[in-house]
Each structure stands twice: as structure tokens, then as C-alpha cells.
């Protein structure tokens, strides 16, 4: 029986593969977003663009960095839940799956709002914008409901998990 328990406990380290690939993806996405930002600065300096012509590009860059933040939170959160807690600033700490879901949900929602404002700045069709705003509002309401409903559920916590550290 102890052999089976040992094998099961060792398998939790498989999560390191996903953490590794998520963090590599975050690094590559950060490099890509940084290069886009540098290219936009260079274009602004070279062509003396007016700020209203590049608003959409700034919004796209914000969206890219929000994606990087979501990847970092996911990678760090999985590591903290399955491997070991880390000393991190309070907003980055993940104590249970609810914290991880809540953080990711907030980033996804913020990203959707940024995309909506990007489409608004781009001047997309009014009917499409109304449907997009409704969809974003519905998803926002669902995420808020899940956030409040999740507080009462039993969660896997790093402070009370049965996994031996």
C-alpha cells in the first residue's frame, strides 16, 4: 500500500512539465509583446503619428501583456498547488483552486474588456459591438457568480492538502 501511495505522490511532479511549458510560453509571449511595443515606439518616433491613429495598437499591446500575466499566474499557481508554496506578493499567492480560477477569470475578463475597447476604437459595426458587449457582460456575471459560489465549496488547499511535502 505504501508503494502505491509513493507512486501516486511522485506523479504530482508531472505537473512540472506543464508549469515548464506554460512559463516558456509566457516568456516567449513577453518577448513578442516587448518587440511589438518597441516597434510601435519606433514607428511613432519616425513618422510622428498622432496618438488617435495608434490607440488600437496600444490596446493590442495591453492585451498581449495581459495574456502574459495570465500565463504567469497559471504557471505559478499550478506550481504552488502541486509542488510547494512560494514566498510571493499576496496578489500572486494561490492557496487553492478557487484562488487560481478567480485570478485567471479576472484576467480573462479584463482581457475581454480590452478587446472590446479595441474593437470600439477600431470602429467596428454597431450591431456587432452590441452583441460583443452583451456577451462580455454575461461572461462577467457568470465569473462573478462562480467567484462568490466557490467560497462555500471544498477546495484543495496548499495549507490543508493531504499531499506530503
Tens of pLDDT, residues 126-149: 888 999 899 989 988 888 887 777
Tens of pLDDT, residues 150-162: 655 444 444 444 4
For residues 52 and 100, the answer to whether their CB atoms sit within 8 Å is no
- The model's confidence at residue 51, banded by pLDDT at 50, 70 and 90, is low
Q: Decide: pTM greater than 0.85.
A: no
Distance CA 69, CA 61 (A): 13
C-alpha cell at 151: 467560497
Q: Which pLDDT score, from 0 to 100, does residue 33 have?
A: 95
Domain ranges of the chain: 2-152
Distance CA 36, CA 7 (A): 45
Amino acid at each position: 500500500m505504501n508503494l502505491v501511495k509513493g507512486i501516486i505522490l511522485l506523479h504530482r511532479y508531472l505537473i512540472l512539465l506543464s508549469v515548464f511549458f506554460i512559463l516558456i510560453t509566457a516568456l516567449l509571449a513577453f518577448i513578442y509583446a516587448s518587440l511589438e511595443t518597441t516597434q510601435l515606439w519606433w514607428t511613432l518616433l519616425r513618422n510622428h503619428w498622432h496618438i488617435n491613429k495608434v490607440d488600437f495598437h496600444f490596446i493590442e499591446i495591453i492585451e498581449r501583456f495581459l495574456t502574459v500575466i495570465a500565463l504567469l499566474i497559471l504557471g505559478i499557481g499550478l506550481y504552488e498547488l502541486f509542488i510547494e508554496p512560494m514566498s510571493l506578493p499576496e496578489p500572486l499567492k494561490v492557496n487553492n483552486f478557487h484562488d487560481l480560477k478567480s485570478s485567471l477569470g479576472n484576467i480573462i475578463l479584463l482581457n475581454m474588456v480590452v478587446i472590446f475597447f479595441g474593437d470600439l476604437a477600431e470602429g467596428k459595426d454597431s450591431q456587432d459591438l452590441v452583441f460583443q458587449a452583451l456577451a462580455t457582460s454575461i461572461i462577467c456575471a457568470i465569473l462573478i457568480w462562480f467567484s462568490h459560489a466557490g467560497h462555500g465549496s471544498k477546495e484543495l488547499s496548499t495549507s490543508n492538502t493531504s499531499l506530503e511535502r
